[in-house]
Amino acid sequence: LAGERCPGRTVGLVDAVDAAGNGLAVGVTDFWQRYPKGLTAADGALNLHLFPALEGPADPGDLPAHLSFPFVEGHYRFKWGMSTTDRFVLAPHGAAGREAATQAALEAVWPVVAVLPGSHYESTGALGEMTGDRALFPAWDERFAEAFEGHLQSKEANREYGFFNWGDWYGERGTNWGNNEYDLPHGLFLQFARTGRRDYYRLALAGARHQADVDIVHAYPDPHYLGGNILHSVAHTGEWSQDIKERQWSFPYSFHAAAYNGHTWASGLCDAWYLAADPRVMEAALALGEHIAWQMAPHFKELGTHERSAGWSGHAIAELYRATADPVYLRALEQIVAVAYREQNFAENGAWPHLLPTDHAGGVPGARGNVAFLIGVLLAAIDDQYVLQPSEQATRSLTAATAWLKTQWMPELGVFQYTSSPSYRASARPSQAVLNPLILGPMLKVAELTGDQELLEIGARGFAAATAHGFDRFGKSLSQMAHFAPLIMARLKRLGAPAKPYGADLTRNSEALRRAALLTAKPATRLNLRGPEDKLVLLRHRGGAGTVTVTREPWGA
């Protein structure tokens, strides 16, 4: 094969052997996924090229912008703070030990993934609240599998590979790498624990490793940003606005690299430590924890108009506290939620009302209120604090805010009004159910604390609606669905929701749930479908002749 170009992708496993049978087996993790890579054997030497010269077969050629950014004029380039980690096994052997050496090297290429029953994870609580009961939520498992297969197809179509890219997804706002918003590795790890599907685990681990290497800031002149988790951006760490005139990777770290950016997560990183014992990933998780504890929490003074600024950072530091029992992290959580307690307006709506920004006001001047899913994420951090430190203050906060969320629930559609602006009630659609899992967890906690059956019914119907309408192959949509779903399913089971009259959808399979949703759907003249992927639209035909006319126009960010 010397000098010949062969089609296909090599797995990154080579055993170079001399005439006496002595040799060296090499296995490289994610060899082709983290291109460019090389393995050569000649003159008694085996060479592993982690960064091969960018010429000949390794020439990146005419790649699109979202793939070409690390290559310039025959050289590699990194942005300050980014890193990369390669994992490989070198297994020398004699003539009698070749098979054992090859197996050792193969462990780097295709490592063994131990599978335990989901009931084990459920009973131990080692990965948090989840249920391994497959008799419940079968449609969830089926729709998740469909979306996951589509997600893999998107990776192939978008060429989501490369040493900076593998494990992440592309296409946020059409120009950005998603930086695994909203912690897709966590959703995949927990679905692996529930189902035993190793392909979920493998992509989850790749995603956690990507986040640890690329999305966490490892070096910068201003120490304020060290350990920060960068939000979705051009080339992972560049410009991040949705109104980008010219894509820029050379963009200084600022708001988008600090923990109050509303895009900070640690659950998937911790899962990788629990399940894979990956020290590199956990080192990055601890760097994130130190950033939140010392650079964010002591200086965090107001929620602003996007309350997830406290929600995601609080949820992340709570996860890190559970992983380490470090009291510094618990103190940081207290500091973050203290701001929420101070600003909560029990007199006006029980939540955190403010003048809505233009995009949330929906054309209504002076509109006040909140965005339901942002409040849901904020409440997740308060929920975390209650679980770690039960208190009357946390109970009062959760109860008042979930009472407001009740007013935003639209039972006829199975969704929450996107914002409290009146214009969003008229434009609500079933597809908004993708946001339900970001909201329902704390509502079910209050149902558990108070016995509020209305909250339990909203939780059951809202989760069924999300399962029916929310899944999509797009990484952002899949992670919105998956992050809090294990906790929601565990609480629905614990509260007996599947046995309630309104809980039938929780035990239906995917096709039965889809059919039930179609038969009860309200007439729609407009479908707002966000995301760059193909969509499946179901039409109900009542008989007779008819013509369907579809007009497509831009919508959303």
pLDDT digit string (tens) for 234-279? Answer: 999 998 876 767 778 888 999 999 999 999 999 999 999 999 999 9
The pLDDT value recorded for residue 328 is 99
Band (527; pLDDT cuts 50, 70, 90):
confident
Nearest to 269 by CA among 200, 194, 209: 209
Is the bond into 36 cis (omega within 30 degrees of 0)?
yes
The residue ranking higher by pLDDT, 41 or 5, is: 41
pLDDT of residue 80: 93
CA distance 488 to 482: 10
| Residues 6 or more apart whose Cβ sits within 8 Å of residue 342 | none
The fraction of the chain above a pLDDT of 90, given in percent, is 80
Domain residue extents for the chain: 13-109, 353-524+535-542
- N- to C-terminal Cα separation, the chain: 49
Q: Is the pLDDT of residue 45 over 70?
A: yes
Rounded to the nearest angstrom, the gap between the alpha carbon of residue 5 and the centroid of all alpha carbons in its chain is: 38
Query: According to the model, what pLDDT value does residue 247 have?
Result: 77
Q: Say if residue 182 is preceded by a cis peptide, omega within 30 of 0.
A: yes
On whether the CB atoms of residues 345 and 351 are closer than 8 A, the answer is: yes
| 544 has pLDDT over 90 | no
CB-CB contact of 166 with 160 (8 Å)? yes
Q: How confident is the model at residue 22 (pLDDT cuts 50, 70, 90)?
A: very high
Say what the pLDDT of residue 518 is: 77
Q: Is the pLDDT of residue 16 over 80?
A: yes
pLDDT of residue 501: 94
Per the listing, tokens 């942005």 go with 79
Question: Can you give the pLDDT at residue 240?
Answer: 82
Tens-place pLDDT, residues 63-93: 999 999 999 988 999 999 999 999 999 999 9
User: Across residues 177-204, what is the average pLDDT?
Assistant: 98
pLDDT in tens, 444-479: 999 999 999 999 999 999 999 999 998 999 999 999
pLDDT of residue 533: 57
Look at residues 215, 189, 221 and name the one whose alpha carbon lies nearest to residue 202.
189
**CA–CA separation, 148 and 321 (whole Å):** 30
Whether 4 has a pLDDT exceeding 80, the answer reads no
